Chain A
Amino acid sequence: MFSLGLTSLLVRRNLLFVLMSLEVMLNAAGLAFVVAGSRWHQADGQVVFLFILAMAAAEVAVGLALVVQIYRHFQSLDVDGLDEMRG
């Protein structure tokens, strides 16, 4: 799942899709943690998943706010158009 998320992150140009694939990747990582916790019969895996969840929530909030601003500014959601900070 992580690999899928990574692939889609690299391919898609729509900002929203980029964020979505980011969520996929996070979810996949969390899944890995939970599986590990279950494997060794510890609650820690679930705890980590909780933290990942909190982090994803915060990130989505900020990220979507940024997306809204970008849309207002550039009138498009093309990620490649956001390349002003180039060397």
Chain B
Amino acid sequence: MELAFYIAGAVAVISTILMLTRMNVVHALLYLIVSFLAVAVDFYVLGAPFVAALEVIVYAGAIMVLFVFVGMMFNLGQHAVKMERQWLSPGIWSAPALLAAVLLIEVVYLAKGSTGAIGASVIQPKEVALVLFGPYMIGIELASMLLLAGMVGAYHIGSRQAEKPEIQHDADTHERRADTSGDLVLAGAHQPSRTP
């Protein structure tokens, strides 16, 4: 059992790394799906069959599918791949990697010292359900409201017509706004004079 855990974990990490470094969006998505499936296996081994099923059905099945739809919709071809290659020089990885590494070290330091057997007990779905509808009732309700809000919001945002191309905002005054690039303080200072 433990071996299964570590193998699945390794698969998850490796496929995540692969996902990060892909140029093509759809390739990366597929790798991500693999990563999620591996994590689902991890969950099962840990003794949480319910969330394992959930992971596969909801996360990999619904959310990732949504991503795939959108990614395919954009139809990003070779041009996008070239852009990605341009953007991702090796040097760029250094600072964020350092930051993340520091965070990793801190978290590992915090988590050290607590060991336990893997898969010692299996928590059945029935137990989870009892806890869900008991103490965490309100969480359920809130989550459902959140999903409703998300649905409505997504519908509205998605349904808006594409706006007209970007024009100057003071179209009604026939003036060009001065370029106060980045300087809130001076924003009001360079007003061109109005002709009365």
Contacts and interface: CB of A to CB of B under 8 A. Distances in A.
A and B touch in the complex (CB under 8 A): yes
Contacts of A46: 48, 50-51, 123, 128
B36 A62 contact: no
Q: Chain A binding site: helix, strand, loop or mixed by DSSP?
A: helix
Given A61-B154, A67-B70, A21 B96 contact: no
A7 B54 CA distance: 27
B150 A4 contact: no
A67 to B, nearest CB: 6
Q: Chain B binding site: helix, strand, loop or mixed by DSSP?
A: helix
A28 B134 CA distance: 26
Nearest to B127: A43
> Which has the most chain B C-beta neighbours within 10 Å: A16, A41, A73?
A16
B114 to A, nearest CB: 7
Interface size class of B (residues with CB under 8 A): 35 or more
A1 interface: yes
Interface in A7-61: 7-14, 16-17, 19-21, 23-24, 27, 30-31, 34-35, 37-39, 41-47, 49-51, 53-61
Interface stretch (B16-24, B171-179, B188-196): B16-24
A82 interface: no
A4 B17 contact: yes
B150 A59 contact: yes
Interface of A: 1-14, 16-17, 19-21, 23-24, 27, 30-31, 34-35, 37-39, 41-47, 49-51, 53-62, 64-69, 71-73, 77-78, 86-87
